[in-house]
Structure 1
Amino acid sequence: MLTDVGEYIVGAYLQLILGCDVVDYNVRPPGGGLEGLEEMDVIGLNLKTHHAYLCEVTTHIRGVLYKDNRTTVERITKKHERQKRYGVKFLENFECEYMFWSPVVPVGYITEHLSKLEELQLIINGEYKRRVEELRKLAAKTTHDARNPVFRLLQVMEHMRD
């Protein structure tokens, strides 16, 4: 599966701001079968601190919505449960943090219900924007190739001249 631009944004944040040594995209659990179809969008591992970041990423710029509000919350809830199962099964030596990243989430039913999910950090709306701004500020101060296409684009944009 192709890596989405939003997944590269999250990967850049995990690598360059949170210090992850390993960032992987569209990770499928080993073993195949039905369980092997349940991918994790982005996983970051900080080997020094033994932190793992399991991230669901939805980059709908017109607002996250699957059919209706209730279905959207149910779908994200199922994905969060899948994150937790993956963390318990494959990352037992890491302290796992679970995140949902989306630039545009309608405030109301969806945000109210998602905020009730224990252990799920919501990186949405203004918080998403703040984290991208952190990347922009870092891009303005650096020139090395971090091997992340989104971060490289931010560097180019921040270093352009007239």
Structure 2
Amino acid sequence: MTQPQPGEQLVGAYLRVIEGCDLVTYNQRSMERGDQTELDVLGVKSTPEGQRLLACEVVTHLDGQLYSGTPSTDEWAEYGNASYQYSLERISEKFERVAGYLDVVFDDLSLAEIQLWAPYVSEGHQTDGLAEVVERTETEHEPSVRLVINDDYTERIEELRHAAGASSKDYSETGFRYLQILEGMR
């Protein structure tokens, strides 16, 4: 298993500390031969209604661009330049693979949610395209989809920072421990 990236560590810390997930795991890979699915962060929380699943894709690019590349089709052409189109194509494909992975691994997806976490996504074509990706994914698959981007991302990380400043408890989450150190400096 690969070491979680810094952005993934923050998301995992949020799932464990704020969401109260019983299990947080990083870089889950499909066991199916030839399947390249990798899930950045998976949180599982036991609730009276069943297992709540939070499957998170994390893109920590700080320049507003999710991915750069050339799209393989013109499916997303109305949503801006080639890089925007490629980003939407790639995220749509990731959501498809994650939904398929969850369907194979878990029996009940009624409480499952796919999340995209990104600190900065350019407003306009890219956010409009992401809304379309969400709509398509929710139409075709059982898990709901939530975008944790821009202000929502900032609010959640601020909430995590506040929790770090108020607690010295060891949650076994590296990202949270870094925040505890920073918030506890005198």
TM-score by length of 1: 0.93
CA contact (8 A) 2:37 2:101 kept: no
List structure 1 runs of 4+ shifted beyond 4 angstroms. Answer: none
Gaps of 5+ in 2: 70-82, 136-143
CA contact (8 A) 2:37 2:98 kept: no
Alignment length (residue pairs):
159
Report what 1:47 is aligned to: 46
SS across alignment from 2:27: strand
Q: Deviations over 1:112-155 (max 9, x none)?
A: 01112133211011110000001011111100111111111111
Report the Cα distance in structure 2 between the residues aligned to 1:100 and 1:66, rounded to whole angstroms: 17
Alignment of 1:70-109 (within 5 A): 70-94=85-109, 95-109=111-125
Gaps of 5+ in 1: none
Report the Cα distance in structure 2 between the residues aligned to 1:144 and 1:18, rounded to whole angstroms: 16
Name the aligned partner's letter for residue 75 of structure 1: R
Root mean square deviation, CA, Å: 1.3
User: C-alpha displacement at 1:82, in angstroms?
Assistant: 1.1
SS across alignment from 1:50: strand
1:12 paired to 2:37: no
Report what 1:34 is aligned to: 34
TM-score by length of 2: 0.81
Alignment of 1:57-136 (within 5 A): 57-63=58-64, 64-67=66-69, 68-94=83-109, 95-116=111-132, 117-118=134-135, 119-136=144-161
